[in-house]
Structure 1
Amino acid sequence: MVRAAILFLVVSVFISCGQNTQKNSGMDVSTVKALDLDRYLGTWYEIARFDHSFERNLEGVTATYSMRGDGKIKVVNQGYKGSLDGELKRAVGKAKLTSDPGKLKVSFFWFFYSDYLVLELDTDYRWVLIGSSSPNYLWILSRTPQLDEATKQHILDKAASRGYDTSKLIWVKQKPESSQ
């Protein structure tokens, strides 16, 4: 019975991955041509995201990347449930590099990996636009808890030109920089 359930789960994941790729065929998911991992590591603030169950109702969300001893990247995503004073929720995963510098594989569960696509990256590594092979996932991350309106609009324009529906973005509440 347990074997059947695991087999069903694995098959379902592979089928859904295939469907997501097909749905994404009209979108531009090309990644950056170069990624300096040393500059990319550290803490990023989540500015906006598409809604999905694993981050629903989280505020003050950050993603922190650091190197592990095995050459993979430690990924720590955390945020506060319901409000900036809510209960801290934390997920620890791992990421691995691929032959494409802007494409990583990330896992928070066992050996199931998902695409982590660095679509756009500021030359000074101040902000990044992240997607996946599915059009259902999109994130705007920043080195600071807030972005100015001109920078936000610039990133939104880039996402829209790639085929993303930016009206679906949820803008994440962050504590002001002075209270971090």
Structure 2
Amino acid sequence: EVAFFSILGNWVWPFAGDYVVIALDPEYRWSAVGHPSRDYGWILARETALDAATLREIAEHFEAAGYDACTLLMAAEAPGETRRPLCEAAR
């Protein structure tokens, strides 16, 4: 169970959820985390943008764990940008 919540700079734990680490980059540049329901997944990265090869690798990890990479939406990085599925971003 993992929880992240801050009030006035102090970490408190009123919200919690079950998460699964799907994959972790050997250099700790990124991690792929999912919910056991396989409805939600997140890419946590040190950089604001990842190249297509890295996104392909991450998408493959999600797929191998039973997630549909085409239902996982990437965050919009710039104003006006449309969110797109991980499977498209990984092309």
When normalised by structure 2's length, the TM-score is 0.66
Correspondence for 2:55: 152
Alignment-derived partner of residue 139 in structure 1 = 42
Q: Structure 2 stretches of 5 or more lacking a match?
A: 6-12, 79-91
Cα-to-partner distance string for 1:37-59 (whole Å, 9 max, x where unaligned): xxxxxxxxxxxxxxxxxxxxxxx
What is the match of residue 106 of structure 1? Answer: 3
Q: CA 1:124–1:167 in 2, change beyond 3 Å: closer, same or farther?
A: same
**More helix by percentage:** 1
Per the TM alignment, residue 117 of structure 1 is displaced from its structure 2 partner at its CA by: 2.1
From the superposition, tell whether residues 141 and 149 of structure 1 become closer, same or farther in structure 2 (CA, over 3 Å).
same
Aligned counterpart, 1:40: none
1:132 CA drift (Å): 1.9
* Equivalent-residue separation in structure 1 for 2:15 and 2:49 (angstroms): 32
- Partner Cα distance (1:173, 1:141) in 2: 15
User: Share of identical aligned residues, percent?
Assistant: 38
Q: How many residues align?
A: 72
Change (3 A) 1:107 1:141: closer
- Runs (4 or more) in structure 1 with deviation over 3 Å come to none
CA distance in 1, matches of 2:17, 2:31: 18
Q: Any idea what the Cα deviations from partners look like across 1:74-121, whole Å, max 9, x if unmatched?
A: xxxxxxxxxxxxxxxxxxxxxxxxxxxxxx42265x745211322211
CA RMSD of aligned residues (A): 2.1
Question: Which sections of structure 1, spanning at least 5 residues, go unmatched?
Answer: 1-103, 176-180
* Aligned residues of 1:129 and 1:155 also touching (Cα < 8 A): yes
- The equivalent of 1:84 in structure 2 is none
Secondary structure of 2:2's counterpart equals: strand
Candidates 10, 24, 39, aligned match of 1:121: 24
Q: Which has the higher strand share?
A: 1
Which TM-score applies when normalising by structure 1? 0.36
Distance 1:115 1:107 in 2: 12
Residue pair 1:107, 1:114 contacting (<8 A) in 2 also = no
- For the pair shown, the structure with the greater C-alpha radius of gyration is 1
Distance 1:136 1:128 in 2: 17
